[in-house]
Amino acid sequence: MDELSCRCATFITNVLDSDDDAVSYAARHGVYFSRMLSPIGRNALFCCLRYGVQIQNIAFIKKFVVRGYVRILSLLTLFILHAVY
């Protein structure tokens, strides 16, 4: 799931930065204005909420951020399991 989210965030960043004006306009409109009515907007919101990044900073979602997120989540899980038992 994390690999897919990272790839999705990279795709969205590339589309937002596209040289084609129509493509970048459609992507910006979907991500920033009609977020829940657009598949690209919903995916951007999902990725940003999952990794705690603001929608304007979706370009910050890279593999090292995702790896850090997974590492922290696994450490928290181990800590909670250790505390319970």
pTM flag (> 0.75)? no
Convert the chain into a string of H (helix), E (strand) and C (coil): CHHHHHHHHHHHHHHHCCCCHHHHHHHHHHHHHCHHHCHHHHHHHHHHHHHCCCHHHHHHCCHHHHHHHHHHHHHHHHHHHHHHC
SS3 67: helix
pLDDT single digits (tens) 25-65: 999 999 999 888 999 999 999 988 888 888 888 887 877 66
56: amino acid identity, one letter: Q
